[in-house]
Chains A and B, each alone.
Chain A
Amino acid sequence: MDTGWRRLPTFTLLVLTAVPAYVAVGAPDEHDSADPAPRKDVLELRRDADDIEKRIATSGQLYGRPDLNAYLQAVTDRLRRPGDGEPIHLQAIKGPWPNAFVLPNGASYVTTAMLDMLDNEAQLACVLGHEMTHLVEQHALEEMRAQRTRTGWATALAVLVGAAGAYYGGSQAGAALADLTASAGQLWTISAVSGYSRDNEREADARGFERLAAAGYDTSQAPIVFEHLLAGTPDEATGARPYFATHPRLEERIASYRELAAARSADPAGRADAERYLAAIGELPVEQALLLIDADQPALAQLSIDRYLVRHPDSARAHFVAGEAWRARSGESLAIDQAIAAYARAIELPGTPPAALRSKGLLHRERGEDALAREAFEKYLALDPQAVDAGIVRLYLQELRAAPP
């Protein structure tokens, strides 16, 4: 394997499929400039939605925790109102940016980054109520018609594809995510990236807020979601730029939610259900951090795992992941010290992953701290004698033991 190549762009044989595809999206489709018959475009939209749902299902991007999906579905169901029509089927999907979107066939997704960012169930309900309104009010159909008459959608698609690719650095996960945009791109773009028109977003905010209140949630949590989105963009730390957090309308939406919340300030306080929410997401933040490390975003991973460690200071796994995040930032000053400290903390706690000892040993070895390296490697093999890399570690130990003290 060549580690470095994973981080480089890969253009290969099948680029041939992408070149003509570029041609395909390169110009607005004038043929369809007239408003099509409603029946036709509703079917078209539904077909595109089914296509995207199928792609997501086979992309490997679903988070795949049935207990969490059941919880998310229960919150969604609580927000439903009579006459809503199409039911929503909500699932968690792996994703680097906080995002949630609903497809016109009812398939709905919330990213692990969004779940990691939220503090409580009321905030989740705010996001879901907003997305539910888009579905109920058929905003996607409206937007599709409007998009067709205004502009081509290649630009918006490029934003998403570019963002996904740059973020994942050409990893398989990135490729799979980018694949989601390869077809049915207009719908995905509306649902997940470009957002809806200002009017539709406003309507979704207002009606989503009503759902939140009607379900008995603490409505003061609503603006906090968007404040998190705005504040949680660690541009300086990562250079990363999630789409929603740079969206110019975000501040307007915070203001809009604040107004809505202020108008209800006299109402009895609703529930936030923070504990239930955090129990439901469980170790998701730890897994999100690992996903971000794999995606070459260790600084974002650091933020995620640090938040989790505030709540779970005795999680050996979380300290190990914090060490991994620091190790991935080893180009920065003191990062190695921080990594070693995090591994050391993980090792002190029950349930330490053996890999914490291996990683600690490697860092000590790189720094020429042979005694510490030897100690860590010996403990590693004692804890996991069948480790896949046990053979290599034994070679290190032979060498370290043979070296003069």
Chain B
Amino acid sequence: MITARSLCIATLLATTLAGTAAWSAELPAPQAVRAQLKTVAVMPVKAPTDVPNRAQAEQRIEQSIEARLAAAGITVIPAAEMRALQDTVRAALGGYYDPHTGDVDEQRAKAFDEHVDSEFRRLHPADAWLYARVELRRAPAYAAWATWDGVQESTIGATSFGEQAFRSPDVTGSLGALSLHVGVLTPTGEVLYHRYGALQLLEYYEESSGASLFGLSENIDYVPVSPDAILADPAREQRAIALALDPLLLDKTQQEAAKESNKDAWKQIKPVAKGTRPPKPADVDRVAFLAKYPRVTVAAVELPELPHRAALRDRYAAALETGLAKAGFVVVPPARYAAVWEPIYTASGGFYDPITGELLEEKRLAALREAFAKLGSESPVDLVFVPGIVLREARIRSGKVKWDGETVDLSKSSALFDKARAFGGTVPAASLELRAVDASIQEVFLGYGGIELLVRFKSGGMMSRGGFEDIPMADWLTDPVRDAGAVERALGSLVAAP
């Protein structure tokens, strides 16, 4: 589940882009950096935690980078050294994640960084430290081509010229992608070099149905790549490493030669296999569900750190209580559940591992089990609904943004040349996530109800294509009118027919 942490970080990160644009101009020339690199310490490679087979991919990339550095005549301190030191310091520190929220404890994290850096400098003198990380990117995707970080790939995963030429949609937008980000820093933290190398797209535009009116596409959809095809192609990894590292390790002539020799190999790289769109969750049989779980209660909603957090929690508690009652459930007041849950939660010391930051699901389930047992004697319930406000990616389709049952029309008029209709891609949105757990601690229901977009569309003037701007956090989730709608959408088929 994407929690409060994700929402806050996402907002901050969204704004970092423009602020970092001037970086490369201030860095020394790669060849000047290369000249001072005799010994380089490679840091452990990191990939997003939800990448399948992440560990293997990280290891492959790490080894390839180490081999490439060694081939360039650089003495390499392998990533294994830093990994071992990090493990020792992390254990001695007792981790740096808050067990209650899973968030990074800044004070501990700072201490971790200071000790690790200091010890590594002491134990492994090096001219520079090389970091490499697989990062999520948005690849600008216009019509047939997505172009990012040194490569251009088909926006529809086309495998033939004909398909590429005639089936690509005329859409301006962006597609999710992965890139390898390599950075070289001095041991005291001064950035010497950094560069991205494209790895792969994570999604494609769905082939156009052909319904295109004056260049304004209709019926654009998206299909994810197959999970098995994420970070599964060593040739793509080699290409990304070359794109990110060659400008540092090779001089101009060598780069030209490498480009020439790579040309054929890179041409052989095929589009990543398409996956299937996630199936819509099957509708729940309302009558049977109500018969099986007539008495329910609601846990406190998990929220991002917003200025009006307390009021929002109360609002959603009330909206959920009303919505569930309207759906036909007997609702034990959330306050009653909170009175039982809070002491259990406090005694648990939190559900997150302070070392890894991961949710300790077993611990959480044990606490839920205890809560059911305690409720049992006085206010028995069959289900606990556990709500949370989560960040979702809302798809733009033909001028409308649709996610989790909610639709926002970007256009303000029915004008033929409506700029909003020329946008594709995704924008961030907030949704209500609603899980229900029964007395055997099985999750028996999961629903999402769209609340609102976290950006707003500005059409601009005649000469502007328009675009999106962030909505400040203080303005998020401030409209109580949306609460009931979000609850209804999240409950889906559990809501009684009008």
Contact = CB atoms under 8 A, between A and B. Distances in A.
Interface of A: 1-5, 7-32, 51, 54-55, 57-58, 158, 161-166, 168-170, 172, 174-179, 181-183, 239, 296, 328, 330-331, 362, 365-366, 368, 388-389, 391-392, 394-395
B495 interface: no
Interface string B435-470: 000000000000000000001001011111111111
B474 A54 contact: yes
B464 A21 contact: no
A337 to B, nearest CB: 15
A3 B469 contact: no
Contact of B131 (A4, A15, A296): A4
Given A22-B18, A30-B462, A391-B93, 5 more contacts: A15-B174, A21-B470, A26-B465, A166-B20, A392-B115
Interface string B86-97: 001100111010
Interface in B182-197: 183, 185-186, 188-191, 194, 196
A17 B468 contact: yes
Contact of B113 (A1, A54, A328): A1
A4 B22 contact: no
B26 A183 contact: no
B21 interface: yes
A365 B121 CA distance: 10
B122 A365 contact: yes
A301 to B, nearest CB: 14
Contacts of A170: 16, 19-20
Contact of A27 (B20, B115, B464): B464
B465 A388 contact: no
B108 A175 contact: no
A29 B467 CA distance: 13
Nearest to B456: A183
B466 A24 contact: yes
B468 A21 contact: yes
B472 interface: yes
B467 A162 contact: no
A182 B12 contact: no
Contact of B426 (A16, A24, A164, A362): A16
A105 to B, nearest CB: 15
Contact of B133 (A5, A55, A328): A5
Nearest 10 A-B pairs (CB), nearest first? A165-B19, A24-B467, A31-B461, A9-B20, A29-B461, A14-B14, A20-B467, A178-B19, A389-B111, A18-B17
A353 to B, nearest CB: 14
Given A55-B472, A162-B21, A388 B93 contact: yes
B322 interface: no
B15 A182 contact: yes
B348 interface: no
Contacts of A5: 131, 133, 183
Q: How large is the interface on B (under 10, 10 to 19, 20 to 34, 35 or more residues)?
A: 35 or more
Contacts of B17: 11, 15, 18
- Per DSSP, chain B at the interface is mixed
A12 B136 contact: yes
B135 interface: yes
Contact of B18 (A18, A32, A368): A18
A26 B458 CA distance: 13
Nearest to A184: B469
B181 A8 contact: yes
A366 B187 CA distance: 12
Interface string B71-84: 00000000000000
Contacts of A3: 113, 116-117, 189
Contact of A24 (B22, B116, B464): B464
Interface of B: 10-23, 26, 43, 46, 88-89, 92-94, 96, 104, 107-109, 111-118, 121-122, 129, 131, 133, 135-138, 140, 172, 174, 176, 181, 183, 185-186, 188-191, 194, 196, 307, 393, 423, 425-428, 455, 458, 460-470, 472-475
22 contacts: A2-B46, A4-B185, A12-B13, A12-B137, A21-B470, A24-B466, A29-B461, A55-B472, A57-B474, A158-B18, A161-B21, A165-B18, A166-B20, A176-B15, A178-B19, A179-B11, A183-B469, A296-B189, A330-B188, A365-B122, A366-B122, A388-B93
A31 B114 CA distance: 54
Contacts of A55: 472, 474
A7 B20 contact: no
Contacts of B425: 16, 19-20
Contact of B140 (A19, A26, A31, A168): A19
B468 A331 contact: no
Contacts of B94: 391
A395 B468 contact: no
Nearest to A12: B13
A20 B185 contact: no
A31 B461 CA distance: 5
Nearest to A361: B118
A179 B15 contact: yes
B469 A182 contact: yes
Nearest to A22: B467
B397 to A, nearest CB: 15
Given A5-B131, A165-B21, A176-B12, A15 B137 contact: yes
Contacts of B107: 388
A331 B464 contact: no
B352 to A, nearest CB: 16
B189 A4 contact: yes
Contact of A331 (B11, B122, B190): B190
Given A5-B133, A24-B458, A170-B16, A16 B472 contact: no
A24 B469 contact: yes
A395 B183 contact: no
Contact of A11 (B43, B135, B172): B135
A177 B469 CA distance: 15
Contacts of B113: 1, 3
Contacts of B172: 23
Contacts of A163: 22
B92 A395 contact: yes
Nearest to A25: B467
A159 to B, nearest CB: 10
Contacts of B117: 3
Contacts of B473: 58
Nearest to A167: B19
B174 A4 contact: no
A385 to B, nearest CB: 15
A179 B138 contact: no
Most chain B C-beta atoms within 10 Å of own C-beta, residue among A4, A58, A168, A330: A4
B93 A392 contact: yes
B118 A58 contact: no
A394 B122 CA distance: 17
Contacts of A182: 15, 18, 469-470
Given A54-B474, A165-B22, A388-B108, A32 B461 contact: yes
Contacts of B189: 3-4, 7, 296
A2 B13 CA distance: 17
B467 A21 contact: yes
A116 to B, nearest CB: 23
Given A13-B136, A366-B122, A178 B185 contact: no
A9 B18 CA distance: 10
A12 B135 contact: yes
B93 to A, nearest CB: 6
Contacts of B122: 365-366, 368
Interface centre among B15, B472, B473 (most CB of A within 10 A): B15
Contacts of A19: 138, 140, 174, 425
Contacts of A165: 16, 18-23
Nearest to A32: B461
Nearest to B96: A1
A166 B464 CA distance: 28
